[in-house]
């Protein structure tokens, strides 16, 4: 089970979270990664934690002011990237372009989707994984695996029907070890979460609780 902690633009200390994630991963054997703001990628990667970008743009080098170049995030320590998060939605052609850009920079990819139908479309683009995150549950206290377990099962089936090699993750409201265990029981091979760790008073304790469900 892969645990990816998205720090979004929360006012947390990215180094504190990264250090905690590194230590909990080493102690538990779990795969835990942190996705900070682009400006923090290098110093988060310097902690030794697996580091992911929150986004890469669907373009190559050139006149693209304001873009997040895949090669730039890779050069600053990122090993993978989220694409098409519900808070940073892209057109389908741009999702494809971002996946291709990430491949060019040798980054792993997770394409986010709102529902099983979108999961199937995303899987057809050949990312390493797709993540189903119903927008209405993002940032809430109820996890998708509890509120709507059927959507996780349907997402797993939708991806498998298109490309069995594409992993399926789930997110939205995940915050406890029980949520992680439930996601695994429904067929997910990873989870995305944000506020459950980034806004926690004790990020290390929150991470330790998450891996207790593995």
* Residue positions annotated with a catalytic role: 85, 133
Q: Copy the structure tokens of residue 30.
A: 């779990």
Distance CA 207, CA 187 (A): 21
Q: What are phi and psi of 169, to 5 degrees?
A: -110, 165
Which residues have CB under 8 Å from 47's CB, separation 6+? 15, 18, 19, 22
Which residues have CB under 8 Å from 200's CB, separation 6+? 206
Please answer whether residues 182 and 143 qualify as being in contact, where contact means their C-beta atoms are separated by less than 8 angstroms: yes
Alpha carbon distances (Å) from 44 to 21, 26, 49: 11, 16, 7
DSSP 169-197: EE-SS--SHHHHHHHHHTT-SEEEESHHH
């Amino acid at each position: 089970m892969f645990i990816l902690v998205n720090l979004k633009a929360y006012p947390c200390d990215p180094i504190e979270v990264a250090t905690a994630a590194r230590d909990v991963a080493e102690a538990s054997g779990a795969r835990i990664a942190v996705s900070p703001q682009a400006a923090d990628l290098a110093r988060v990667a310097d902690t030794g934690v697996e580091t992911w970008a929150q986004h890469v743009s669907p373009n190559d080098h050139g006149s693209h002011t304001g873009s997040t170049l895949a090669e730039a995030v890779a050069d600053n320590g990122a090993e993978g990237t989220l694409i098409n998060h519900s808070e940073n939605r892209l057109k389908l052609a741009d999702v494809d372009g971002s996946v291709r850009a990430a491949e060019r920079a040798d980054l792993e990819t997770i394409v986010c989707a709102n529902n099983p139908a979108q999961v199937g479309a995303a899987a057809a683009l050949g990312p390493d994984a797709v993540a189903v995150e119903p927008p209405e549950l993002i940032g809430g206290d109820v996890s998708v695996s509890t509120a709507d377990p059927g959507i996780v099962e349907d997402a797993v089936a939708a991806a498998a029907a298109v490309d069995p090699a594409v992993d399926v993750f789930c997110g939205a409201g995940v915050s406890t070890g029980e949520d992680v265990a439930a996601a695994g029981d429904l067929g997910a091979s990873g989870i995305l979460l944000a506020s459950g760790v980034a806004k926690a008073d004790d990020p290390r304790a929150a991470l330790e609780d998450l891996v207790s469900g593995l």
